[in-house]
Amino acid sequence: MSAQRADVQQIKDRIDIVAVISRYVTLTKAGSNYKGRCPFHKDDTPSFSVSPEKGLWHCFGCGAGGDVIGFLMKIENISFIEAAKRLATEAGLSFAAHNGDDSRDELYEINIAVSRWFAENLTDSAAGRRGREYLVGRGYPENTWERFSLGYAPPGWDHIKKRFSTKYGIKRLIDLGLLIRKDDGTTYDRFRDRVIFPILDISGRPIAFGGRSFDGQPKYLNSPKTALFDKGNHLYGLSWARESMQKEKSAVLVEGYTDVISLHLAGITNAVGSMGTSLTQGQAHLLSRFVKEVVISYDRDTAGRMASLRGMQILRNHGLSVRVVRLPEGDDPDSLVRREGSERMQQLIDAAEPFHVFYIESLKERHNMASIAGKESALEEARLFFRGIRSLPLRQEIATSLAELLDLPFDGLLQELSRGGSKRKYESITEREGEERHWDPQQVILSLLLRGEVSWDRVSALISPEDFAVQYRAIVEKISQTRGQVDASSMTTFLDEESAREVSYLTLSEPLWSDVEKALQDALERFVELPEIEKKLHDLRGKIEDAERSGDRRHLDELQRAYSTLVAQRLSRRRRDGKKQTAGQR
Ligand SMILES: [Zn+2]
């Protein structure tokens, strides 16, 4: 890995990012950056920005971004290796041979061999008994294992090394994420005592592995990003679902491996897995190649979360129509199909609600509509959502439902929803555009770190990488590994697409503050305080439910007052944040 890293960095150092991007986009100089119209979305205004100094580009309209290799990959629709090779040739460098296509074939060969060995362990070995019993217990009898390439990794630390390193070399096994190297240079098997779900590419070749433990943590473990695998550009089960997806022009999108398998076994063969709920641009693009409609079937809690909703918005902006299945509380597709059968599941899929209907419903679940503060925060959220809707009739319909939900006059509401809204705004995917950017404190801290305004040493005294939300963790880890100056562009090379976009966004955005110290202090305060408020709110919701059940009116009033106070506190924290950040802008 380190040899490859040096090569890639060399290429990036020699290549003029402005010259490369200029071949596709007309760029004009604006300060120390260049601006142009984004080639990845319909861009009326120049939202696309390139920083030669930072070696990054970012579109503030659609949110795409990254380094020069990422740009070439996206615009030419080619792989990382291919993009790096082209740029290397241009820079008069030869990209190290072990990154060439020959070695790519060998990487597939290794994964195929390892996948076969996992399968043998499942069917033949004594140790595999645990795996066999688990799968049969889940309703996957032996005659289904081959269809889904299922396997088992035996307990122990060095089976993979012993078996495969002589033939393929330790380095390749590490590169494929099969072995993990410790600080002292020794290695051990990543997958131990786990049922293995190989992740196949569209032609059915294993590119990565997912492993489920019986009782250990984490419950699911995946291969890391490798030369063959980038989670954000793949869907679990695509090779099995492809035909049926193309025929039906529709895909059922689920979260986990067992959801996909159970649906396929139930005859719902257009199911694919997003391997996590924050859907990426890459996955949306992949889906849009095969289908016109995506039916989201996450469990109920997950579907209502912001990360999922944002993913659904990304799908819509790729021109896909989105519907959401209403699963019973506590069910996922796997558990529902096993308990109630495929017919019931099919009924639910047929009855899936259009995205906007689901979204408005979900507002009710996330905000307390009985209080003013709850309505205010729902309205605030809805405004951001509304901007992403382009269709006029749909806007009308949503505004009508919202007026009803919030008990507000339609005209006033429509005005409020469109506040400060130029046409351009409607095209934004997330809330990340325009003068009302809202950054969570984690983003403020990351941005300060990426711009080199604050050192990791200072921050790490108060927070550790694990404190950050999952979507930022890969970035924080890279920052924490950097000694001295953080180099955002070189960091990007080994981040997945989503994280690279976040890095380019946080590095190239107009700074949201004028006073670095104040921004840092405020963000740290909110990083610690807001989660505390959330936790109190969560506890209170439980108590309110209890009081409702027991019919204790007086206690209930008291609790609801406390709840409203907290919601107001939360809102004022967020607003304060908004104002502060807006103040520093043009
Ligand atoms: Zn764009």
Residue 315 Cα to ligand 1 midpoint, Å, equals 15
Whether the pLDDT of residue 437 is over 70: the answer is no
Mean pLDDT of 166-184: 92
Residue 431 Cα to ligand 1 midpoint, Å, equals 14
Is residue 497 within 8 A of residue 230, CB to CB? The reply is yes
Mean pLDDT of 152-159: 95
Residue 19 Cα to ligand 1 midpoint, Å, equals 19
Residue 55 Cα to ligand 1 midpoint, Å, equals 18
Helix (H) or strand (E) holding 51: strand 48-51
Q: How confident is the model at residue 381 (pLDDT cuts 50, 70, 90)?
A: confident
How many other CB atoms are there within 10 angstroms of residue 547's CB atom? 18
More confident residue, 565 or 199: 199
Residue 288 Cα to ligand 1 midpoint, Å, equals 17
| pLDDT at res. 426 | 30
* Residues 262-278 pLDDT 10s: 999 999 999 999 987 67
Residue 47 Cα to ligand 1 midpoint, Å, equals 7
φ and ψ at 568, to 5 degrees? -65, -40
* Residues 10-20 pLDDT 10s: 888 889 999 99
Mean pLDDT of 3-27: 82
Mean pLDDT of 400-405: 90
* Residues 130-154 pLDDT 10s: 999 999 999 999 999 999 999 999 9
Is residue 320 within 8 A of residue 286, CB to CB? The reply is no
Mean pLDDT of 570-585: 54
φ and ψ at 273, to 5 degrees? -110, 140
d(CA 160, CA 200) in angstroms, rounded, equals 20
How many other CB atoms are there within 10 angstroms of residue 66's CB atom? 25
Residue 40 Cα to ligand 1 midpoint, Å, equals 5
Residue 256 Cα to ligand 1 midpoint, Å, equals 30
Residue 507 Cα to ligand 1 midpoint, Å, equals 17
Residue 8 Cα to ligand 1 midpoint, Å, equals 25
| pLDDT at res. 576 | 56
Mean pLDDT of 527-547: 81
Give the least confident one: 332-346, 470-484, 504-518: 470-484
Residue 309 Cα to ligand 1 midpoint, Å, equals 20
* Distances in whole angstroms, Cα of residue 62 to Cα of each of 251, 320, 377, 424, 559: 24, 16, 25, 11, 42
| pLDDT at res. 199 | 97
| pLDDT at res. 574 | 63
Residue 63 Cα to ligand 1 midpoint, Å, equals 6
Residue 292 Cα to ligand 1 midpoint, Å, equals 21
Mean pLDDT of 181-207: 92
**DSSP letters along 89-100, please?**
HHTT----GGGS
Give the least confident one: 3-17, 441-455, 569-583: 569-583
3-state DSSP call for residue 413?
A: helix
More confident residue, 290 or 317: 290
Residue 134 Cα to ligand 1 midpoint, Å, equals 46
Residue 504 Cα to ligand 1 midpoint, Å, equals 13
More confident residue, 578 or 286: 286
d(CA 425, CA 316) in angstroms, rounded, equals 16
d(CA 432, CA 418) in angstroms, rounded, equals 16
Ranked by mean pLDDT, the top range of 27-31, 72-76, 213-217, 413-417 is: 27-31
DSSP state of 277: S
C-alpha neighbours within 13 Å on the C-beta side of residue 6: 3
Residue 36 Cα to ligand 1 midpoint, Å, equals 10
* Residues 50-59 pLDDT 10s: 999 899 999 9
Residue 43 Cα to ligand 1 midpoint, Å, equals 7
Residue 57 Cα to ligand 1 midpoint, Å, equals 11
Residue 32 Cα to ligand 1 midpoint, Å, equals 20
Residue 540 Cα to ligand 1 midpoint, Å, equals 42
Whether the pLDDT of residue 354 is over 60: the answer is yes
Please give, one letter per residue, the 3-state secondary structure of 357-402.
HHHHHHHHHHCCCCCHHHHHHHHHHHHHHHHCCCCHHHHHHHHHHH
Residue 90 Cα to ligand 1 midpoint, Å, equals 26
Mean pLDDT of 483-488: 78
Whether the pLDDT of residue 440 is over 90: the answer is no
Residue 49 Cα to ligand 1 midpoint, Å, equals 10
Residue 319 Cα to ligand 1 midpoint, Å, equals 15
Residue 41 Cα to ligand 1 midpoint, Å, equals 5
Whether the pLDDT of residue 501 is over 70: the answer is yes
| pLDDT at res. 3 | 41
Identify any residues that bridge with 272 across adjacent strands, giving them in sequence order: 253
Note the pTM of the prediction, 2 decimals.
Answer: 0.59
Residue 162 Cα to ligand 1 midpoint, Å, equals 48
- With pLDDT > 70 as the criterion, what percentage of the chain qualifies? 91
Residue 493 Cα to ligand 1 midpoint, Å, equals 20
Residue 42 Cα to ligand 1 midpoint, Å, equals 7
Whether the pLDDT of residue 305 is over 60: the answer is yes
Whether the pLDDT of residue 353 is over 90: the answer is yes
Residue 284 Cα to ligand 1 midpoint, Å, equals 15
Helix (H) or strand (E) holding 57: strand 56-59
d(CA 62, CA 42) in angstroms, rounded, equals 9
Nearest CA among 500, 495, 493, 498 for reference residue 4: 493
Residue 73 Cα to ligand 1 midpoint, Å, equals 15
- With pLDDT > 90 as the criterion, what percentage of the chain qualifies? 40
Mean pLDDT of 566-571: 80
